[in-house]
Structure 1
Amino acid sequence: MTREVRAFAVTVLTLAALGAAAGLLWSGLSPRAPYAITDQGTVLADPTTQALIAADGWFAVITGGLGLLCGGVAWFAARRWMLPVLLGLCAGGVLASMLTLWTGSTFTLGAVTVSAAAAPGVKIVPGALKLTASGVLVSWPLLGVGLFGLLEGMHGYRESPLRHPYGEPSTPLDHRPL
């Protein structure tokens, strides 16, 4: 029981550390939307900006790619403790996505420049990095667990007696007698 708990904990903590690093990467790659400081507060300076959508896209690409990487590595590394690692991949993927969101929106990396047409006397500032499509938060755990399940299904089918229905021999086709 202790080894299963350890496998779960190591998986969750590894993904959490990757989530913090992914947040810094997301902060460095994603564009910021331009906001104008007015008497009414800060308002979006350019309503047609694609920066909000681009931030969601970068988040999905980074977390989805890391989810696929983690799912593949977890399947190859966890041959003895499949269930604890799979559960850790799911829980750690959720935690990693949340840490990616928090880290990326808290820390600003790289040169942040925005451009928008403004009225004279209105100051344009870069906005905070945030997600507008919260559905991309599930890309890390969904793709990680999905790839893990796909690999396990392919491996299980290869060793399954269902591959040889009706008592057919298990020899390859080129070695059967004519």
Structure 2
Amino acid sequence: MAAGLLWSGLTPRAPYAVTEQGTVLADPTTQALIAADGWFAVITGALGLLCGGAAWFTSRRWMLPVLLGLCAGGVLASFLTLWIGTTFTIGAVTVEAAATPGVKVVPGALTLTASGVLVSWPLMAVGFFGLLEGMHGYRESPLRHPYGLGPN
């Protein structure tokens, strides 16, 4: 829940102009739409790293269930972050755009334009868990000391 509120608070909103035909993007060169995707990926990716590290350090005995839980929980957490972030508006929403006189400029709704960032939480969690396990497995491996040589 906090991730969605943080995403809603940090992300700038795209400016939309209210016209007779409806709302249209006031500034076609705005980077606000890309910034929303970027902030979502950074926030959920960082939380995925945190979850993956915590899972590896606390429960390495049951690796497969933990990995499945990280993956399913990360997908669920990403969708929950998206829902909370798009539902609740946190912080002051200001819009800056050069509008023609008589045209009202309003902030747009917070959305994701690149739906691929939804996998950043589970991808980072499972990937970091695998990286830590690979480093631990290499340290314990007899292949680390080839030809039967022990540590010096």
Q: Give the alignment's TM-score, normalised by structure 1.
A: 0.81
In our comparison, the structure showing a higher alpha carbon Rg is 1
Separation (CA, whole Å) in 2 of partners of 1:125 and 1:119: 13
Separation (CA, whole Å) in 2 of partners of 1:104 and 1:37: 23
Of 109, 114, 120, the match for 1:139:
120
Partner of residue 26, structure 2: 45
SS of corresponding position for 1:137: helix
Of 63, 79, 92, the match for 2:44:
63
> Would you identify which runs of 4 or more consecutive aligned residues in structure 1 move more than 6 Å?
none
Q: Deviations over 1:68-92 (max 9, x none)?
A: 1111111001122222111100111
Query: How much does 1:115 deviate?
Result: 1.2
Partner of residue 3, structure 1: none
Give the counterpart letter for 1:141 in structure 2. P
Q: How many residues align?
A: 152
Identity of aligned residues (%): 85
Residue correspondence of structure 1 range 73-88 to structure 2 within 5 A: 73-88=54-69
Partner of residue 13, structure 1: none
Matched, 1:122 2:103: yes
Partner of residue 95, structure 1: 76
Partner of residue 32, structure 1: 13
Q: Deviations over 1:125-154 (max 9, x none)?
A: 100001111111111111110010010111
* Greater relative contact order (Cα < 8 A, sep 6+): 2
SS of corresponding position for 2:30: coil
Query: How much does 1:169 deviate?
Result: 4.1
The root-mean-square deviation of aligned C-alpha atoms, in Å, is 1.1
Identify unmatched segments of 5+ residues in structure 1. 1-19, 174-178
Separation (CA, whole Å) in 2 of partners of 1:60 and 1:87: 21
SS of corresponding position for 2:96: coil
Q: Give the alignment's TM-score, normalised by structure 2.
A: 0.95
Partner of residue 5, structure 1: none
Q: Deviations over 1:94-125 (max 9, x none)?
A: 11111111111111000000011222221111
